[in-house]
Homo-oligomer: A and B are copies of this chain.
């Protein structure tokens, strides 16, 4: 039985709360939030507090707060016996104070307040200062059903960057797709099966092998036509050109 204390009241905390609550192999001993109202609704199922002085003993303290607050908040904490981990992709483990046993437990996923997620499908990047703590984090991940990836803070920052490409940037391309369909009075629904299939395809074969389209075929005529359709929109045009070049470069195609 691993005992857990949850620090922070954001979206990730709530997902962790539900994942931990259901689990018989770990116990959520306490949930801390700066503003008690934020977690008042959960008071019947978990001990809550808004005072860091009242933190109960736990094997692992999971700090799920915004990147900017990690350093100052963790510095304000009293002495804790357990392992203190943050959950950020971008922050170095060493931003946690030296006086703690330190680690990282970074779930690589996008969390929304209103979309339930199957926590067991989330890959967890873990880091710790010693083998024992690393084993503990691995155990916690396994209890939650998650696959772990042990990596340094530097590697994690690169993986976080990759996540920005396949999540935020991909989503912005969806947005551009939405703008184009809207400009033609066509419902965005028309693109949804293609979006689903594009994501499904790379679950089974590499993005390299999955690529198709005008840049891949060196189809200069189609590319010119598309650039013409975008001539009133220089920023979309620039993106089109850069992504087309990127595909051509990856696949050794001439344009």
Q: Which A residues form the contact surface with B (CB < 8 A)?
A: 67-68, 90, 108-110, 112, 115, 117, 121-123, 125, 147, 149, 151, 155, 157-159, 161-178, 180-181, 183-204, 206-208, 210-216, 219, 221-222, 225-226, 229-230, 235, 238-240, 242-243, 245-247, 249-250
CB distance from A218 to the nearest CB of B (A): 12
B166 touches A174 (CB 8 A): yes
Establish whether residues B250 and A242, one from each chain, have CB atoms under 8 Å apart when the complex forms.
no
A149 and B22 CA atoms in complex are apart in Å by 45
Enumerate the 3 nearest inter-chain pairs by beta-carbon distance, A residue then B residue, closest first: A168-B213, A199-B199, A174-B207
Residues of B within 8 A of A167 (CB): 194-195, 198, 212-213
A185-B163 Cα distance, complex, nearest whole Å: 15
A172-B246 contact given A159-B190, A161-B226, CB 8 Å threshold? yes
CA distance A173 to B161 in the complex (A): 12
Q: Which residues of B contact A190 (CB under 8 A)?
A: 108, 123, 125, 149, 159
